[in-house]
Structure 1
Amino acid sequence: MPSSPSPVNSAVPLARTAAAAFTALPPEVLELGALFEAAGHELALVGGPVRDAFLGRAINDLDFATSALPDDSQRLLARWGDAHWDQGKDFGTIGARRGDVVVEVTTYRTEAYEIGSRKPVVTYGDSLLGDLTRRDFTVNAMAVRLPSLTFVDPHDGMRDLAEHVLRTPVSAEQSFDDDPLRIMRAARFSAQLGFDVAPEVMAAMTAMASRLEIVSAERVRDELVKLLLSPRPRRGLELLVYTGVAAVVLPELAQLQETVDEHGRHKDVYEHTLTVLDQAVALETGPDGAVPGPDLVLRLAAVMHDVGKPATRRFEAGGGVSFHHHELVGARLTSKRLKALRFDKHTTADVARLVELHLRFHGYGDGAWTDSAVRRYVTDAGDLLERLHRLTRADCTTRNRRKAMRLAAAYDDLEERIAALREAEELAAIRPELDGGQIMEILGIGPGPVIGQAYRFLLDLRMEHGPVGQDAARAALLSWWAARQDG
């Protein structure tokens, strides 16, 4: 049998790819390196751009490390660029733009958390090697000195890149102690790059998961979002759950494992959830489609759609299992978790609404919905309808091919009915035939709670019977009003 390629041999194509990328850097970048060098400072391209050059990926972010202090960087960037900004100056970072080239230059630094603090303390370093040693993973601890284009790799990052493995430049325990958020980054990079996590890194993630409690919710959220929007979100989530990190940052997902039933009375909800996520991702569309991927709301809803099951599981007489109203419980748990992670109100409301609605379709299985029920389905989903279509389809993970085909056909039928009603009735903008002003004029009353009640009556009429015309709506309103007066 042929032997496996050695790390050295497998790294050769990577080095060739990177060399081509580095020599193709914009001339403005080399000019910037020469400017810093002439001023007596070091400047190096670092981190993600170097890693991506080896992987043959487009270099979108130009991040540099320098020996210059922020004030010196700012003066030099002001000379080099058309514009510059200092919003990140407290963290040693100055940004600038020259034409289409945007750069960020950060003074050599280290970050560490003080006891009880949720914000890292930034201190400046004195060398490129020291700066690289303090970075999260070896594949992000490579640099290219400018303007000489000298490659610097003190921790064998290119070897780990060739082996598709995530290791830390120093011991994983020290790295995670300095910045616990790196625990989340391990899962995020695994999801983004498809890399394995070294055993010692995984062990440290497990042992130190509780350290994430000192990190701000916003920073945890941002890493979770990057993980979910990655090409392989399932991979990252599985790592979080396996190491116990999910129990700290997304406990509702970890708790789905509690529903595993050794007696086989129902499916594995945790594995089902991960499969739903995979299938939802596959149903995302291109940029011009209904749900352009990657779609955060759809992916979050897929992850959270069954989180109400652990709290609602009941063993029924005869050996069955039920999860009554788990969609309502799940919606509340989802809203609470996303608020704790400081997601914005719109995202929180949308994801919770999808969780609440994800079972609604199953009442349609026999195709017996009335037009009224279809109208309510569309109205309740609102702007989330296309996502709800995809979440509902993704939620079918049965291995029974006949059942799966039956459910798919039923949903095809529902979508066809929605399309037909939309064409006939402008379904997306269902409103009563009479507005508030007309209601007041017909009833001869002024503004007040009764107008809202009348409006809802007419909306229910529209839902139940479709367009009835203003004359029929007026007659129904007067009958409703007379019944109220008699009552």
Structure 2
Amino acid sequence: MRIPGIEPELQRAAETIIRAGFKAFLVGGAVRDRFLGRMTSDYDIATDATPDQCLRLFPHAIPTGVKHGTITVIPRSRRFKIEITTFRIESDYRDGRHPDSVTFVDDITQDLSRRDFTINAMAINLENGTFVDPFDGRADIAARLVRAVGNPTARFQEDGLRTLRAIRFAAQLEFSIDPATLDAVAECRDRLACISSERIRDEFSKMICSPVPSRALRLLVDTQTILYIIPELLECVDVRQPERHRHDVFNHLAATVDAVSAENLSEERLLILRLAGLFHDIGKSRTARISENGEISFHRHELVSETIAREALVRLKYPNAVIDRVCHLVRHHMFNYQPDWSDAAVRRFLARVGLDALEDLFALRLADTIATMGAPVSWPLIAELKSRIEKIVKDGEALSLRDLAVNGHDLAAIGIPKGREMGAMLSELLDAVLEDPSLNTREHLLRIAKSKYFHVNE
């Protein structure tokens, strides 16, 4: 039987199983997403066929987790993958993540009973279209509720990562969490100590890139699960800011992350900008000062924020390229352009920030401003700065060492030794060119280098 809305390649895989005399059920997120009208990128089929029988049916499949009953089939189009798993029940999770043993069974209801949340414990029989929902997952979808299957404490003791998955689903789907399930998240948060940094990072990244990430951040703080991700955020709770701010530091960070629009951004840029939004003021808790007249200040908090960001992101094992880009934005987010900036000041700003980071820095500043003011504001000064930058770029003015009319070989040829001294000299030459672009000729720069290094005036 062909079921409406089922991918043809998925249907063909199911028919291969059914023709061999086995059952095939669509399970997991794909069923949930059908009811939510969301796109699905990967599919899960549950079957009573054993892993060895599945491998015989799909000889080119990847034996992803045969021990636990799972193989992976990549359809010809390669647009998605299909994980095929034998019906099973699980027992004992001594490592707080993986079952010590699995037992293969022949009943779909038993298989669904081991799953984390009711919204993920539904199935569709791919032979006749029958819907199987033993734990009222569809009703919870209608109620926009994340609820554990059975005893929530037992579910989270089995797998500590489920505490974060509950929060992630609430953020991604904009659902609430059932009170008993939420209490169990807080109660079982120490199980996260058994989970690898990489798995925690992946769940956190999905939260940060969700439609309303502040929902996740507040749940992480309320349940104290944040202690196992970015405990430094707790330092920001109730840290007051000057009156122009609507929020304390923590809620300002959460609002800034929300204000980073996902529109026209790749997944990587969205993650980087939202992480930068989360960390940009995190150092305020450690730099807060209140003067005798009651004025609040956070002197050079951006440098402390950069340090905290780097430590946290390294701890979570984010890629170095992501860490560097986030930290660069955090370090430079406090620029304060004024119309009286000279052209040289604009060039120095560009040299510090880099053209490749400029668009992201402006996006971070916009999100920061929206979080502070509560709404988008007019940006005439930023528009003016962008106009001045466009002219500098159009004129091809030097902004980095590679733009100079001389290089290390030229300096070595006049007797300046390679190493620290040559690096310092190149930096001095760039500074001179940033001040006066007309100096960026080989003749001028070599004359300046000789004057500065050999104290020779030609």
Q: 1:358 aligns with which of 333, 345, 358?
A: 333
From the superposition, tell whether residues 446 and 305 of structure 1 become closer, same or farther in structure 2 (CA, over 3 Å).
closer
**Structure 2 partner of 1:422:** 393
| Alpha-carbon distance in 2 for matches of 1:124, 1:414 | 65
| Alpha-carbon distance in 2 for matches of 1:163, 1:400 | 30
Contact 1:191 1:227 in 2 (8 A): yes
Contact 1:265 1:320 in 2 (8 A): no
| Alpha-carbon distance in 2 for matches of 1:389, 1:250 | 25
Render the CA deviation track for 1:394-420: whole Å, top value 9, x for unaligned.
21244499x954xx2222222221111
Matched, 1:204 2:176: no
| Alpha-carbon distance in 2 for matches of 1:75, 1:255 | 56
Render the CA deviation track for 1:342-400: whole Å, top value 9, x for unaligned.
111111111112111111x12x2x32322233223222222322111111122124449
Render the CA deviation track for 1:124-167: whole Å, top value 9, x for unaligned.
44132122111111111101122222211110111111111111
| Alpha-carbon distance in 2 for matches of 1:346, 1:56 | 35
From the superposition, tell whether residues 90 and 370 of structure 1 become closer, same or farther in structure 2 (CA, over 3 Å).
farther
Contact 1:111 1:178 in 2 (8 A): no
The letter of the residue matching 1:387 is: D
Secondary structure of the 1:286 match is coil
The letter of the residue matching 1:438 is: D
Matched, 1:368 2:346: no
In the alignment, structure 1 segments of 5+ residues that lack a partner are 1-18
**Structure 2 partner of 1:3:** none
Secondary structure of the 1:271 match is helix
Q: 1:386 aligns with which of 359, 364, 368?
A: 359
Matched, 1:144 2:124: yes
Secondary structure of the 2:61 match is strand
Matched, 1:334 2:309: yes
Q: 2:222 aligns with which of 238, 242, 253?
A: 242
Contact 2:97 2:160 in 1 (8 A): no
**Structure 1 partner of 2:112:** 132
**Structure 2 partner of 1:156:** 136
| Alpha-carbon distance in 1 for matches of 2:296, 2:16 | 70
Q: 1:105 aligns with which of 84, 102, 105?
A: 84
From the superposition, tell whether residues 376 and 306 of structure 1 become closer, same or farther in structure 2 (CA, over 3 Å).
same
Render the CA deviation track for 1:291-311: whole Å, top value 9, x for unaligned.
778611000000111110111
**Structure 2 partner of 1:440:** 412
1:135-284 counterparts in 2 under 5 A?
Answer: 135-260=115-240, 267-281=247-261, 284=262
**Structure 1 partner of 2:47:** 66
CA RMSD of aligned residues (A): 2.8
**TM-score normalised according to structure 2 size:** 0.90
Render the CA deviation track for 1:207-253: whole Å, top value 9, x for unaligned.
22222122111111010111111222122222212222223322122
**Structure 1 partner of 2:264:** 286
From the superposition, tell whether residues 461 and 118 of structure 1 become closer, same or farther in structure 2 (CA, over 3 Å).
farther
| Alpha-carbon distance in 1 for matches of 2:132, 2:323 | 44
**Structure 2 partner of 1:16:** none
Shift of 1:42: 2.5
Between 1:32-41 and 1:413-422, the stretch displaced more is 32-41
Which is helix-richer, 1 or 2?
1
The letter of the residue matching 2:326 is: V
Secondary structure of the 2:84 match is strand
Matched, 1:347 2:322: yes
The letter of the residue matching 1:454 is: M
**Structure 2 partner of 1:305:** 280
The letter of the residue matching 1:97 is: I
Shift of 1:336: 0.6
| Alpha-carbon distance in 1 for matches of 2:150, 2:108 | 15
Contact 2:98 2:159 in 1 (8 A): no
Contact 2:287 2:301 in 1 (8 A): yes
| Alpha-carbon distance in 2 for matches of 1:300, 1:341 | 12
| Alpha-carbon distance in 2 for matches of 1:53, 1:455 | 60
| Alpha-carbon distance in 2 for matches of 1:194, 1:123 | 33
In the alignment, structure 2 segments of 5+ residues that lack a partner are none
From the superposition, tell whether residues 432 and 31 of structure 1 become closer, same or farther in structure 2 (CA, over 3 Å).
closer
Contact 1:285 1:293 in 2 (8 A): no
| Alpha-carbon distance in 2 for matches of 1:294, 1:432 | 30
From the superposition, tell whether residues 433 and 467 of structure 1 become closer, same or farther in structure 2 (CA, over 3 Å).
farther
| Alpha-carbon distance in 1 for matches of 2:398, 2:86 | 57
Shift of 1:45: 0.8
Shift of 1:260: 4.0
**Structure 1 partner of 2:62:** 85
**TM-score normalised according to structure 1 size:** 0.85
Secondary structure of the 1:425 match is coil
Secondary structure of the 1:374 match is helix
